[in-house]
Structure 1
Amino acid sequence: MKTSADPIRDYLYAVEREASALSADHRQELLADLAEHIEVTRAERPDATIGEILAELGDPRTIAATALAEAGTGAAGASPRAEVGTPARRGKVHPLVPLLMLTLSLPFVMVFPDHPGPLIGALFRITGAVLLCTSVHWIAVQKTTGVLLAAVLPIVVIFAWNQSSGAPAGDTPALLANLAMLALLVGTAAWLWRVRRA
């Protein structure tokens, strides 16, 4: 699993995507088992191609359906797409909710700089980050990147700005900094929306 063009990585990513209704622990265990099986097979049969080994493992959708059925999340023989879209996701938050909460956290602070803007902004930022991290619509790397860019980085920049004696005085530099941060939040939300799972 060295590059994104690696067929093993692509295969494991497909299994992870199809098994998104599994708990994170079960999903990681499934992926670790598959990766170990692939490595053992490659060592035992060096003449076999990667394509042959992956074909022997089976279709990622079938593997995910079996894992979902064994975990009690899906029904044996059912389409994992149907299972992922029905009971397993019932009660889950729409992917737009955490993105809006993370993006709107800064405008509250900009419009109401004293009270209650910072409190509402912090509440939106924390809730949005938690909803993003617990969502089934993104993989772990996307969640981590989203939280770092939309929740952690703005706090670090604002804190550094407020603590810095070298920060430019006046409303214009602060407004420009806030607008740049808002552009970062909107860009991050747009990227997360684009790469989300249906």
Structure 2
Amino acid sequence: MTITEHPLVKSYLATVARETAGLSPERRNELLADLEEHIAVALTEKSASGDDGIRGVLARLGDPRTIAATALGDEPPAPQVNRGRTLALLGLLAATGPLTVFVPLLGGPALIGAIWWLWTAPHWRNRDKAIATAAALVPPLFAVSQWVLPAGTLNSGLGVFVLVLLIVPLLPVAAAVYLLRWAQHPS
């Protein structure tokens, strides 16, 4: 058992973790890792191994609630995620593919609204938002290409065209599933 696995140290870190529940997961994990490293160094420097020595090091470090309050004061609380709004956004995003290809008058405004709503949502990384945006833009680009390209330019047969016509509208659905996965399991 390492010194940071001692019950007193584990209890101290668990208190900090519990009290910092309002921090983003990344910030909370960083804080706990820093505290654990600081405790390990202090225990090594003081050659503290018994309960009294460990209590002394933890006392000098400070009350876990004070540390948590300081950390919470340094960072605004993590954004609250409303599950209903998230599901509504993902449903709208998924609907943009079929709407854009088959009912463009509804699909265009739905696509613009879904992309705007996606980029104002606080709970996805920009990388995930960019992936979903790219997937959502494929159906309108496909629809526009059917109007712009002269007939016969992409002469690969009716079977391929029908296959593409069925797959392209499903890309925003796949993007919505991808975002749902990351909304449930961030980073």
1:136 aligns to what SS in structure 2? coil
Q: Which residue of 1 aligns with 2:145?
A: 160
2:154 aligns to what SS in structure 1? coil
Q: Which residue of 1 aligns with 2:73?
A: 69
Higher relative contact order, chain-length normalized (CA < 8 Å, sep 6+): 2
Q: Tell whether 2:134 aligns with 1:148.
A: yes
Q: Which residue of 1 aligns with 2:98?
A: 107
- Compute the displacement of 1:52 (Å): 6.3
Contact 1:98-1:131 at 8 Å conserved across structures: yes
Q: Which residue of 1 aligns with 2:169?
A: 182
Superposed counterparts of 1:127-142, under 5 Å: 127-142=113-128
Q: Which residue of 2 aligns with 1:196?
A: 183
Identity score, percent = 23
State the alpha-carbon separation in 2 of the partners of residues 153 and 64 from structure 1: 46
What TM-score, normalized by structure 1, do the two folds share? 0.50
What TM-score, normalized by structure 2, do the two folds share? 0.52
Cα pair distance change 1:135/1:153, threshold 3 Å: same
State the alpha-carbon separation in 2 of the partners of residues 64 and 126 from structure 1: 41
Q: Which residue of 1 aligns with 2:3?
A: none
Instruction: Number of aligned residue pairs: give it.
Output: 133
Q: Tell whether 2:89 aligns with 1:98.
A: yes
Q: 2:24 aligns with which of 19, 23, 26?
A: 19
State the alpha-carbon separation in 1 of the partners of residues 110 and 138 from structure 2: 15
Cα pair distance change 1:123/1:54, threshold 3 Å: farther
2:124 aligns to what SS in structure 1? coil
Cα pair distance change 1:156/1:197, threshold 3 Å: same
Q: Which residue of 1 aligns with 2:13?
A: none
Q: Which residue of 1 aligns with 2:47?
A: none
- Compute the displacement of 1:156 (Å): 2.6
Q: Structure 1: which 5+ residue stretches go unaligned?
A: 1-16, 21-29, 35-50, 57-61, 75-79, 112-116
2:122 aligns to what SS in structure 1? coil
- Compute the displacement of 1:154 (Å): 2.5
Contact 2:92-2:114 at 8 Å conserved across structures: yes
Q: Structure 2: which 5+ residue stretches go unaligned?
A: 1-21, 39-65
1:82-126, Cα deviation, whole Å (9 max, x unpaired):
xx44xxx57x97212222112212323454xxxxx2121011111
- Letter paired with 1:98: L
RMSD: 4.1
